[in-house]
Amino acid sequence: MNLPPGYVTRAAQLDDAPAVLAIMHKVSLQIVSETDDTLEDVIAEWESPDQDLARDTRVVLHPDGRLVGYGIFYDAGHKEVPVLDIYVDPDEWTHDTTTAPYLFAWAEARALENLPECPADVRVALHAFTYSEDHWYQSELTRAGLTLIRHAFRMQIELGGAPEPVTLPDGFTLRRIERDDDWRPVLDCIRDAWRDHFGYIESPFDEHFARWQRHWHDHFTPDLWLAAMDGETVAGVCLCMENFNDSPGFGWVSTLAVRRAYRRRGLAMALLQTAFRTLYDKGSTRVGLGVDASSLTGATRLYERAGMSVNTRYDLFEKELRPGVDTTTREAGE
């Protein structure tokens, strides 16, 4: 797929971040009437050691110099299931018929570069998420050969007052997570829980830890990172952020995980309700989280029982690039 004469494409540069963010905001405001990202988010993502701007991003410039399209490719830790994210300025949707197809063709070609790095018998598929209300992007995904396979939710709760104090199930204690020494056992707990998360891919612990540590380094907040302990064992964790996406009063539960051996004891509900109270004490009047709509562990039903409801639905699209053995989690207990 070639762009029309006069259009320019190249890798993203740090100076492009404000223009890219402006397009991202135009899309989200048009579709869901709120924004999902900040300039700091975009720059931090581009500066991550997991991203190679030259190889993993593309921008498209209109002949008049405006940035009208942007694509980014993610594959750190999941080369067999890379994820693409594409934005086109909504002002161009009705008449620009080449920018999106060009970016999809670029992303697919980028994904095919990974084939030699994946075992020959492993299935490779390209993934993309979109708002369920974004019919333009859905049509572009379909035109690029991707098909809808699953949904995810953003769920929220309005905190009209201080939540009641929470008591953990018998035998467990709650403490704050500390930097450094706690991070490996915390990740070990998360990995054990995520083995029952749709699409999870097992990777060597040290590789995962390096990615995870970098990702959370700037978000670590001791008052909002909580561990449920069974003696010296981290049985469950709840990692939260305040002012999600720079929205005052909007707390976010980034990770809620309970080890397999400690499920069905009320621990997840106790951790979630503790998060509500902790975030409320920090000034949050609204708390949100993301969840697989068909959670293999029933997390969606848990959140509903806690008083949360669906605010936004996301759709997951997929295109198989090579058939083979599926190494991702598809059922609980795999």
**Neighbour tally for 146: CB within 10 Å:** 23
Using DSSP's 3-state secondary structure scheme, residue 301 falls into helix
User: How high is the pLDDT of residue 334?
Assistant: 45
- Burial bucket for residue 98 (CB in 10 Å: 0-12, 13-18, 19+): middle
Backbone angles phi, psi at 35, to 5 degrees: -100, 155
User: Inter-axis angle of helices 17-32 and 39-47, to 10 degrees?
Assistant: 130
**Neighbour tally for 115: CB within 10 Å:** 14
Residues forming a β-bridge with 315: 130, 151
Backbone angles phi, psi at 246, to 5 degrees: 60, 25
46 vs 13: CA distance, rounded Å: 9
162 vs 180: CA distance, rounded Å: 32
CATH code 3.40.630.30 region(s) in the chain: 8-145, 155-317
Cβ-based neighbours of 96, under 8 Å, separated by 6 or more? 68, 88
Determine the CATH number of domain 8-145.
Answer: 3.40.630.30
- The tokens 């709840």 sit on which residue? 238
Q: What is the mean pLDDT of each run of 10 residues along the chain (334 residues)?
A: 93 98 96 89 90 96 97 94 97 96 97 95 97 96 97 96 91 91 94 94 91 80 93 96 86 96 96 96 96 94 97 97 94 67
User: How high is the pLDDT of residue 48?
Assistant: 87
149 vs 89: CA distance, rounded Å: 26
What architecture does CATH give domain 155-317? 3-Layer(aba) Sandwich (3.40)
pTM beyond 0.75, yes or no? yes
* CA-CA-CA-CA dihedral for 21, 22, 24, 27, to nearest 10: 170
Collect contacts of 64-70 with beta carbons under 8 A, ≥24 apart. 66/19, 67/16, 67/19, 67/20, 67/23, 68/23, 68/92, 68/96, 68/99, 69/23, 69/99, 69/100, 69/102, 69/103, 70/12, 70/16, 70/20, 70/23, 70/24, 70/103
164 vs 58: CA distance, rounded Å: 49
User: How high is the pLDDT of residue 317?
Assistant: 98
